[in-house]
Amino acid sequence: MPYVSPARAARDHLRRVLACRRLLCRGPGRQYMSADVMRDSAHPRQAGLLMPEESDCLVCHKEKGSHTAVLGAKRGLKAFVFADAVRAIAHPGMAGPAERVQRGAVDTLPGPKYVGAFVCASCHAARSGSRAYATWRKSAHAAAYAVLATPRAGEIARRHNIIIAIEPLRHQESNIINTGAEALQLVHEVHHPNIKMIIDYYHMRVENENPDIVWKARKEIVHFHFANPHGRLWPKSPAEDPEYGEFFKLVKKIHFHGGISIEARGRFAQDAAASLAFFREEIKRA
């Protein structure tokens, strides 16, 4: 094993800590960063410090079958274990570890519900001594967003003979497009043959959207994602959710011949056969 200096080990640990300090975990740090606040374990919580739950972390650290398939064997991809992750980023202050307290869902917290990159820049820009915003602006991620906001995205897709499919995500994961109706509106506004949309059954059910959106958006849907909405698991039984039947009736009614892929917690080896049988049975019954 190569030698790692204590200084480099400390820097690496700090990077892990900073990489996982999302707003939904700990709130705006500038409100409780002073020494007077951090010396008292009760004061940080009063100033906005939040203690993350496993559900908070899984907003980003959820396992995806595509990641497992592509990265698992080559890069030693490991399953996310909440207890191990908490220990890895632990950095107790001068008052010792903060006591875990009950808190409501993130969506019920006071103040603005969503912020954009420019709002983040008000604290994380160079004038405040941070390079986080400038670093993001130079990233491929930022460049892609800039292109997707212009007609150029459709032209790039057309030139390469690909389809850009807009996927609505539940409000816990996105502050842009949360429902199929919103995705459909955006597709109509862009009005480009290479810009279409996806319906994800899991997100549709979490947002309590009427399955009729499948019929309304039938001309624009090019793919479906699917998961058992109760636990975001691989689907296996019609009894799991009362809306399964109506959804598959609509899929059959629009004569859909594209793909349906599972995006859920589970393992291909253990769950694939049962899920495939489930899909075949639901389509047959529809």
Closest of 165, 225, 224, 223 to residue 194, by C-alpha: 165
Residues 126 and 194 in one domain: no
Highest mean predicted confidence (pLDDT) among 73-87, 90-104, 225-239:
225-239
Can you give the residue range of the structural domain that contains 24? 6-111
**pLDDT, tens digit (0-9, with 9 covering 90-100), for 143-181:** 777 777 677 888 988 999 999 999 999 988 877 789 999
Higher pLDDT, 156 or 38: 156
- Work out the average pLDDT over 33-56: 65
Residue 1 lies in a domain: no
Task: Give residue 56's Cα distance to chain centre.
Answer: 10
> What's residue 172's pLDDT?
83
Q: Which two tokens stand for residue 225?
A: 């994602």
Closest of 198, 209, 213, 201 to residue 250, by C-alpha: 213
Angle between helices 244-253 and 268-285 (to 10 degrees): 70
Residues 169 and 268 in one domain: yes
| Distance of alpha carbon 238 from alpha carbon 208, whole angstroms | 19
- Work out the average pLDDT over 57-71: 60
* Number of domains forming the structure of the chain: 3
**pLDDT, tens digit (0-9, with 9 covering 90-100), for 194-237:** 999 999 999 999 999 999 999 999 999 999 999 999 999 999 99
**Please, are residues 183 and 149 in contact by the beta-carbon 8 Å criterion?**
no
Residues 271 and 165 in one domain: yes
Closest of 164, 166, 165 to residue 153, by C-alpha: 164
| Distance of alpha carbon 110 from alpha carbon 103, whole angstroms | 12
Reduced to 3 states (helix: H, G, I; strand: E, B; else coil), residue 200 is strand
For the chain, helix, strand, coil in percent to 5 are: 50, 10, 40
CATH (domain of 261): 3.20.20.150
Residue whose entry in the numeric block shows the structure tokens 């004038």: 127
Q: Which two tokens stand for residue 118?
A: 């420019």
Whole-model pTM: value is 0.56
Residues 37 and 105 in one domain: yes
Residues 154 and 234 in one domain: yes
